[in-house]
Chain A
Amino acid sequence: MNTSASDGLSVSQLVIKYGEVTAVDHISFTAKPGRVTVILGPNGAGKTSTIEACEGFLSPTSGTIQVLGLNPFLQRKQLNRLMGIMLQDGGIYPSARVGELVQQYCALYGNGVDANALVARVGLQDVATTTYRRLSGGEKQRLSLALALAALPKIIFLDEPTSGIDVNGRDLVRSIIRELRDAGCCVIVATHELDEAERIADDVLVFHRGNVVASGTLHELRSGREEIRFRSHSLIDVHSLSTTLGYTVEQTRQSEFTIAGTSDSRVIVQLTDWAKANNVDIGDIGAGSQRLDDVFRRLTAEPTT
């Protein structure tokens, strides 16, 4: 699909410095309309600084940002009419009531969005007269999402949209994100939750130490890195097993192991034979592309000292 800068988000050679500290170091990327772009990265990777610059809250040290073809810092007024944002936390006065607040934001945007319908859409109709301070964490997130939706946005920035939300609430948020995407909105999601990213992302950007260390579709990031995964509570000599199988075996987590570089069923047979011969219990064997959390861990791994 052909897209231009005026359709979505385009960041070029962006640098953001706080005094001597460089938070974002010459990054470039694009996010297309009608797609969900998920920004991943550990704390301090530069995600928030980049998003705040895209939202117009922060003036970049250098580089250019085009949001729907507008400079977010210099053309904020025009952009505010087209952009929805969801802060990770706060942004709402504790004594504000849900229904009144959504009404206020609908009136501020003036797009004809029905406030009551919007409250119902995010599942807050039962707490419409409740003050913000009395809402649960998940309800607060959904209210923040409703305020972003009041803009009828062409582009929306969602910071940790499912954080603290229960299973049903997450389903609701995911369905809203899909609706936005299908309506042609450019959806940018920043999250730490890799499972969530795997469920909603079309495109993924991985930030690390102020740089974009990987970008592409979810499929692209995961493909070309086949692996076999298994669990074992036994003590496994991974070096010995690596030698036996001819592939590198790593313990990725407590009781979790991966055989990198293959998903061949013959290697699985070799593995089970080795386990039987060495009286090692193994289970939950799976094969295929690397999971996003493994990709993320590999890309953002700190060198061990």
Chain B
Amino acid sequence: MKLLRVQLACELRVLARNGEQLLLILGIPMLLLSFFGNVDILPTGDQSSINFLLPGIIALAIMSTAMVSLGIATGFERSYLVLKRLGATPLGVPRLVLAKALSVLLVEIVQVILLVGLAFLFGADLDALNVAKLILAIALGTLAFSGIGLSLAGRLRGEVNLAAQNALYLVLLLVGGIIFPLQDLPSWLQWVGRITPSGALTDVMRDVFSATATYGASSLVILLGWAIVAQLSAFKLFRWN
């Protein structure tokens, strides 16, 4: 336990000192929620902007932390030989992986608290919130996105990985129905968006917060599929050195 605690503290310290990562995992989601939640420019139908946005923004926050932040940090740690050096200490791979997983989980808890709190301040209706489903959605989303992030981080050079993670983040943000409803996209893009992990997680989150999932249980199945495939991919592709 002591070694895990030491490494977890180190992971959180490194994250707290990284301004770009903080902007990505907290700044951008909060900014998007604050801005689009308070201007009536989105085609959100019967829902208020803030009620429509909150599930997608939480999905975005999970993607930011589990895929981009974890992927970029791990990629650079691999490039800087930090993982190699830690590999020669008594820490061991399982504790290192667990420390990273816990740091992601802690950040996600903070993100959810801040985003839900912010949405509540902006008048979001949280009566239909299903906490058990929220935990399941976060778990599956984290598995899916961390698998994708680590697959890229485990094979690409630090700088290339950085660019790839950011590009993927942008694509998944745009086609995942996070800001705009998927139904308002061209039909072929709706299908693409629906089967992306961001699209599936956003739809599951809509079910969690307001029981308004567009595609019902199929999104949960797609997300589960991503979680399994991405983790297998990370296991296969990741290289420590």
Contact B6–A108 (Cβ < 8 Å): yes
Contact A87–B84 (Cβ < 8 Å): yes
Contact B80–A93 (Cβ < 8 Å): yes
Alpha-carbon separation in the docked complex, A87 to B14 (Å): 21
Contact A91–B85 (Cβ < 8 Å): yes
Alpha-carbon separation in the docked complex, A89 to B80 (Å): 9
A91's partner among B17, B18, B81 (CB-CB below 8 A) is B81
A286 interface residue (CB < 8 Å to B): no
Question: B74-111: which residues lie under 8 A (CB-CB) from chain A?
Answer: 76-77, 80-82, 84-85, 87-92
A230 interface residue (CB < 8 Å to B): no
Q: Which residue on chain B has the smallest CB distance to residue A56?
A: B88
- Min CB–CB distance B11 → chain A (angstroms): 10
Residues of chain B with a CB closer than 8 A to A56's CB: 88
- Min CB–CB distance A291 → chain B (angstroms): 34
Alpha-carbon separation in the docked complex, A166 to B84 (Å): 27
- B-contact bits for A77-120, CB 8 A (1 contact / 0 none): 10011010101011111111000100011011110000000000
A147 interface residue (CB < 8 Å to B): yes
Alpha-carbon separation in the docked complex, A87 to B87 (Å): 12
Contact B2–A110 (Cβ < 8 Å): yes
A274 interface residue (CB < 8 Å to B): no
- Min CB–CB distance B99 → chain A (angstroms): 11
Alpha-carbon separation in the docked complex, A108 to B85 (Å): 12
Interface size class of B (residues with CB under 8 A): 20 to 34
A203 interface residue (CB < 8 Å to B): no
Residues of chain A with a CB closer than 8 A to B2's CB: 107, 110
B87's partner among A57, A110, A151 (CB-CB below 8 A) is A57
Q: Which residue on chain A has the smallest CB distance to residue B15?
A: A95
Question: A27-69: which residues lie under 8 A (CB-CB) from chain B?
Answer: 55-57
How many A-B contacts at CB < 8 Å in the complex?
66
Residues of chain B with a CB closer than 8 A to A108's CB: 3, 6-7, 89-91
B168 interface residue (CB < 8 Å to A): no
Alpha-carbon separation in the docked complex, A55 to B241 (Å): 14
Alpha-carbon separation in the docked complex, A163 to B214 (Å): 62
B13 interface residue (CB < 8 Å to A): yes
Contact A109–B81 (Cβ < 8 Å): no
Contact B14–A96 (Cβ < 8 Å): yes
Contact B89–A92 (Cβ < 8 Å): no
The answer to whether residues A90 and B88 also contact, given A57-B241, A104-B10 and a CB cut-off of 8 A, is no
Residues of chain B with a CB closer than 8 A to A55's CB: 88
Alpha-carbon separation in the docked complex, A85 to B85 (Å): 8
Q: Residues of A within 8 Å of B, CB-based: how many?
A: 26
Q: Which residue on chain B has the smallest CB distance to residue A101?
A: B10
Q: Which residue on chain B has the smallest CB distance to residue A144?
A: B85
Contact A104–B82 (Cβ < 8 Å): no
Contact A94–B6 (Cβ < 8 Å): no
Residues of chain A with a CB closer than 8 A to B241's CB: 57
- A-contact bits for B5-47, CB 8 A (1 contact / 0 none): 0110110011001100000000000000000000000000000
Alpha-carbon separation in the docked complex, A94 to B3 (Å): 22
Q: Which of B3, B81, B87, B88 has the most CB of A within 10 A?
A: B88
- A-contact bits for B56-89, CB 8 A (1 contact / 0 none): 0000000000000000000011001110110111
Contact B84–A100 (Cβ < 8 Å): no
Alpha-carbon separation in the docked complex, A218 to B37 (Å): 75
Q: Which residue on chain A has the smallest CB distance to residue B79?
A: A90
Q: Which residue on chain B has the smallest CB distance to residue A84?
A: B88
Contact A104–B85 (Cβ < 8 Å): no
Question: A120-172: which residues lie under 8 A (CB-CB) from chain B?
Answer: 147, 151
A87's partner among B76, B85, B92 (CB-CB below 8 A) is B85
Q: Which residue on chain B has the smallest CB distance to residue A83?
A: B88
Contact A90–B80 (Cβ < 8 Å): yes
Alpha-carbon separation in the docked complex, A93 to B18 (Å): 11
Alpha-carbon separation in the docked complex, A86 to B136 (Å): 43
The answer to whether residues A95 and B80 also contact, given A55-B88, A109-B89, A109-B90 and a CB cut-off of 8 A, is no
Residues of chain B with a CB closer than 8 A to A96's CB: 10, 14
Contact A95–B88 (Cβ < 8 Å): no
The answer to whether residues A110 and B14 also contact, given A91-B81, A91-B85, A93-B82 and a CB cut-off of 8 A, is no
* Extra A-B contacts (5), CB below 8 Å, given A93-B82, A108-B6: A57-B87, A80-B88, A85-B85, A100-B10, A107-B3
A contact set with B: CB distance below 8 Å: 55-57, 77, 80-81, 83, 85, 87, 89-96, 100, 104-105, 107-110, 147, 151
B contact set with A: CB distance below 8 Å: 2-3, 6-7, 9-10, 13-14, 17-18, 76-77, 80-82, 84-85, 87-92, 241
Counting from the closest, the 4 A-B pairs by CB-CB distance are: A91-B85, A90-B81, A107-B6, A91-B81
Sampled A-B contacts (25; CB under 8 Å): A55-B88, A57-B87, A57-B241, A80-B88, A80-B89, A80-B90, A80-B92, A85-B85, A85-B88, A87-B81, A87-B84, A91-B80, A93-B76, A93-B77, A95-B17, A104-B6, A105-B89, A108-B6, A108-B91, A109-B89, A109-B90, A110-B2, A110-B3, A110-B90, A151-B89
